[in-house]
Structure 1
Amino acid sequence: MDQNHDEQIAPMNPKFKTIDLFAGPGGLAEGFSTLRHDDGSRIFPIAISVEKERSAFATLRLRAFFRQFGEAPHQYYEYIAGRISQNELIALYPAEWKQAVHETEMLELGTPEATTIIDKRLDQLMSDSDTEFVVIGGPPCQAYSLVGRARNRGIVGYEAEKDHRHFLYQEYIRILEKSRPAAFVMENVKGMLSAKVGGKSIIDQVLKDLRAAGGTDDSYTLLPLVDEGRGPLPGNLIRSEDFGIPQCRHRVIILGLRKDIASRVPPLPGSGHLLVSSSRPVTVRDAIADMPELRSGLSKGGDSDEQWQAAAINAAELAAAACGREGHGKVAKRLRAVVTELRARYEVPPRSSSQITSIRENGLASWMADGRMMCLPNHNSRGHMESDLARYAFASAFAEVEGRSPKASEFPGDLAPAHQNWDSGKFADRFRVQCWDRPSTTVTSHISKDGHYFIHPDPSQCRSLTVREAARLQTFPDNYFFEGNRTQQYVQVGNAVPPLLARQIAEVVAKLLGALD
């Protein structure tokens, strides 16, 4: 790109075309794309979003379509309410859909096909010598995460040096080298800090490569996002719960500025460019307490309302009796109250609901609520084994009484699952409740496997979180529709960057680039 980078960034209302890599359902792009100038134009318009997984890509493209409008048409809301088909929606707005198609690419980055297509797109964008870029994205984390590394150790003949997932970040580097963006943001799991390949630290190599992405060892300056003193790379280990996210999600987020731009930035920290922590934690109650009650499903046998009510009563009675025998008197009392409540119900809650509900925390509500919605999408429960209903009821009641989720050692013996390692200490929190008055634990893609780590805090519902509840804990707006089947939706939500956190990072980047006061 033939461009004088020593010149000031474009004068009035600068825009930074944004390249979103390994995009998932679009959490980072959602945060960045919502930031606007006073005239309503986007500071970070999305130029390209790239994702390989089909259902996540479908979600990504639909959101790209949504962004084509200053105000989404009512037919969009009809679509997410299931009243019209996607083909009918596209037929009504073909130009906007065409632009969304142009903006999104379903490609596996790092493959020859993807390289050819992406490079052609970048060449087209770079033909405008006045264009400045921002690159965002999170290379896949399976090889870095603690769970992924434990799984890899169990694979016979596994060699980290031959696992291409360790090196997908290099495709991110390659695109930095080609596009020379004004800034970049790279997100990854905390496990990246301790991951090693061939005895060498991954994070050390990543940082070295990021700094040198412009051709010299110091082409990019890496800046801390938080004024933090704990652990390795402390300025870039972001604890989401500190920034108004109702979830304890700890991720490495690396911010880089091109050298010529960084030279004009006041010294950090203390310059006002860091993320600003929230005044109080935002909790599970703030995000989901007012959502419609649902009953769980029964995964085996019949699943009528009457059958579920009988199974739930039996589960709560079993749990109460087991607690009484083992000294959990307060929990037993709470469970007996649940039994009374369940017996008194003339109508059992449904398995799904589209009822629009409030969000209790004002900042969260202003970000996620949409008064034009006709329904709340993606809010339906999954099925569970009857034996798990008693464990869910116990765990939720315990959390209400004790203010925390129970450990395996605190489960009554009669409720212990027949897991070989249950007493080993390796699965101390195999059943984990998301407590009302705390931020949730990290929403991960594992939520798609089973609900044991994501138990709803109301013991009378005996279920795990729905996709929409998980999406609220991730701060996806209620009008953000997830395509695919429920399992695929869970994976998308669990893999995403919280959009409200991404918005705050975008504000930091915009200030550093002189695009926001």
Structure 2
Amino acid sequence: MKTNSIHPVIDLFAGPGGLGEGFASLHHPTLPNNYAFKTAISIEKDVSSHQTLKLRHFYREFQSNAVPDDYYRYLENKITLEELYKRHPIESDHADHTAWLCTLGETPHEDVKKRIIEALNNQKKWVLVGGPPCQAYSLVGRSRMKGQENFENDPRHFLYREYLRILIDHKPPIFVMENVKGLISSKIQGRYVINDILRDLSNPASIIDSKSSDLEYKLYSLSQPGIMNSTGDPSDFVVKAEEYGIPQARHRIFILGIRSDIDIVPKILEKVNLRSTVSDAIGDLPKIRSGLSKGLDNNSTWLETLKEVTQQSWFKREKENGLASLAEHIEIVLESIEEHMLEKDSSTYLQPDHFMQWFHDERLKILLSHEARSHMKSDLQRYLFSSIFAQVYDISPKLSNFPKELLPAHKNITEGISGKKFSDRFRVQLSNTPSTTITSHISKDGHYYIHYDPSQCRSLTVREAARLQTFPDNYKFEGNRTSQYHQVGNAVPPLLANKIASIVFDILERME
């Protein structure tokens, strides 16, 4: 039975709001200038992520054609955030209430229950979204933590139980739970965690003392048709983002739950014929050079640092191979750099085209967070080599491809060269394919996220990472740059979430 209502979203472990943004940006088919969903409450414990959430909730308080000029003045640094909120107190207070700084598992459960009841305001058609923190499930997280005492008792293994409690308390008609692919292979006390989670999501009261023992959910994949059960193949829940128009090879688990009394079979995501690439996503952004992390940083010093490569013995040997050698390509790039020297940052905003209209905001006058990081001299030379190698051979180099003079002085470098450990320590994001997965590790260094253009010789900026994650250009991340990278890397791509929202909206509209 179709309605003209706007459906509430309850977003748990919200991060900077990627999953919620996808739902909140789905246009309503019958209500002009309105959206199909509205985030009733987002719960997040990280301070910077919460600040980002509040700003986006503020933005979403206005109809799509009525966002105030003050919002853009803030983005342009013409007014402060405090001034923005002060000028629009009603929307600011509402955003402050719906973006909740809260640590699930520590905040008293009755307080959480009360806030969600208040946010839902007796509406019956709504959706619960989110996923528990993934450090204890991810392959990298487990490798770091497995030597620690009480690893198997780490509370992050069990935060999904907070999800179960909320399911029991509020009985949402639909939920969407997201987590890392590493969850499939994660074990605790010899058992696969994913099997326990699927069983518990099907019957949330099974591990919690509750009167809601009759509450059950049918579980569905978003990439495979048909109902799933706890004895099926968990990999069927994996969604490969690049297959659905996202310019990134991001593989994550998405579990769609529909309450058992609702007799509706959901649709699945539609695959695209032509995959979006790194160049599609960031190719229109202004070119900028990297910075130098130590010593004097100006154009001439930066260029001289790159030119030092030509004095190394490997370069001279390579040049003897003739015009097809890497050395020749390096010389061409260096000449081009010298003729067209770049700046370290740019706020010039060019309106994107193609499918990237998703990013577009005609009222946006500047480009946000497009500033290059500074790198050590030795890393700059490695970035130059890597990006040119990728340009010539159409693959990112392994450590075994590096000249000895460019290899980093790491303890495990021998293992890397032999391919046993971190052989792709320096990874170029190839222009003609989707990027590799953007993770929170991008906040630590840029080695895995080298720009494909050797004339820029740098790692990706926050805005480029956000583009690959499909955040709109008017989406501002609060906090320092490290925090911004971290927020982007941990998020669900909003464009993918938008496609999931369309499936959920169809279910809600078909409900009695």
Q: Give TM-score scaled by structure 2 length.
A: 0.91
| Structure 1 match to 2:234 | 233
The reply to whether residue 39 of structure 1 matches residue 28 of structure 2 is: no
1:132 alignment counterpart: 125
Residue of structure 2 in register with 1:276 after alignment: 270
Q: Which amino acid aligns with 1:171?
A: E
Q: Does 1:183 align with 2:141?
A: no
Structure 2 unaligned spans of 5+: 206-211, 227-231
Cα distance between partner residues in 1 of 2:181 and 2:98? 30
Distance 1:453 1:482 in 2: 22
For residues 176 and 89 of structure 1, do their structure 2 counterparts lie closer, same or farther at Cα, with a shift above 3 Å needed? Answer: same
What corresponds to 2:326 in structure 1? Answer: 331
| Structure 2: distance between partners of 1:426 and 1:21 | 36
The residue that corresponds to 1:496 in the other structure is: 491
Q: Give the whole-Å Cα distance in 2 for the aligned partners of 1:144 and 1:459.
A: 36
Superposition misfits of 4+ residues, deviation over 3 angstroms: 214-218, 315-320, 325-330
Q: What secondary structure does 2:261 align onto?
A: helix
Q: What SS is found at the alignment partner of 2:129?
A: strand
Contact residue 57 and residue 99 of structure 2 kept, 8 A: yes
Partner of 2:71: 76
Shift of 1:461: 1.1
Contact 2:319 / 2:327 at 8 angstroms: preserved in 1?
Answer: no
Aligned ranges 1:303-314 → 2 under 5 Å: 303-314=297-308
Take 1:206 and 1:322, find their aligned partners in 2: how far apart are those partners? 58
SS, match of residue 185 in structure 1:
strand
| Shift in alpha-carbon separation, 1:232–1:303, aligned structure 2, 3 A | farther
CA–CA distance in structure 1, aligned partners of residues 338 and 377 of structure 2: 17
CA contact (8 A) 1:193 1:232 kept: no
1:3 is aligned to none
Give the structure 2 partner of residue 61 of structure 1: 54
Please state how far the C-alpha of 1:316 moved relative to its aligned partner.
Answer: 6.2
Task: Tell me: CA distance 1:255–1:326, structure 2 relative to 1, closer, same or farther (3 Å).
Answer: farther
Which among 212, 219, 222 is matched to residue 222 of structure 1?
Answer: 219
Q: CA RMSD in A?
A: 2.1
Query: Which residue is 1:110 aligned to?
Result: 105
Alpha-carbon distance in 1 for matches of 2:43, 2:313 = 48
| Distance (whole Å) between structure 1 residues aligned to residue 150 and residue 320 of structure 2 | 47
> Match of 2:204, SS?
coil
Q: 1:344 to 1:501 in 2, by over 3 A?
A: same
> Which of 151, 158, 163 lines up with 1:160 in the alignment?
151
Matched, 1:13 2:4: yes
Q: Distance in 2 between matches of 1:367 and 1:225?
A: 22
Q: Does 1:430 align with 2:422?
A: no
1:219 maps to amino acid:
E
- CA pair 204-59 structure 1, distance change in 2 beyond 3 A: same
Q: CA deviation at 1:334?
A: 1.3
- Give 2:31's aligned amino acid: D
CA distance in 2, matches of 1:67, 1:96: 9
Q: How far apart are residue 73 of structure 1 and its match?
A: 1.3
Change beyond 3 A, Cα 1:485–1:334: same
Matches within 5 A, 1:50-449: 50-70=43-63, 71-113=66-108, 115-125=109-119, 128=122, 130-155=123-148, 158-213=149-204, 215-216=212-213, 219-227=216-224, 232-261=233-262, 263=263, 265-266=264-265, 273-315=267-309, 318=312, 321=315, 324=318, 329-345=324-340, 348-360=341-353, 362-363=354-355, 365-424=356-415, 425-449=420-444
1:217 deviates by: 7.0
Q: Check whether the contact 2:131–2:177 (CA below 8 A) recurs between aligned residues.
A: yes
CA distance in 1, matches of 2:508, 2:377: 56
Identity %: 47
Aligned to 1:453: 448
Residues 360-384 of structure 1 deviation map (CA, whole Å, 9 limit, x = unaligned): 5x22x22111111010101101110
Partners of 1:366 and 1:225 in 2: CA distance: 25
1:104 maps to amino acid = A
- Distance 1:327-1:256 versus aligned 2 partners, 3 A rule: farther
Cα–Cα, structure 1 residues 92 and 320, in superposed 2: closer, same or farther, change >3 Å?
farther
May I ask how many residue pairs the two structures share in their alignment? 491
Alignment-derived partner of residue 229 in structure 2: none
Would the alpha carbon gap of residues 112 and 100 (structure 1) be closer, same or farther in structure 2, given more than 3 Å must change? closer
Secondary structure of the structure 1 residue equivalent to 2:413: coil
For 2:293, the aligned partner's letter is S
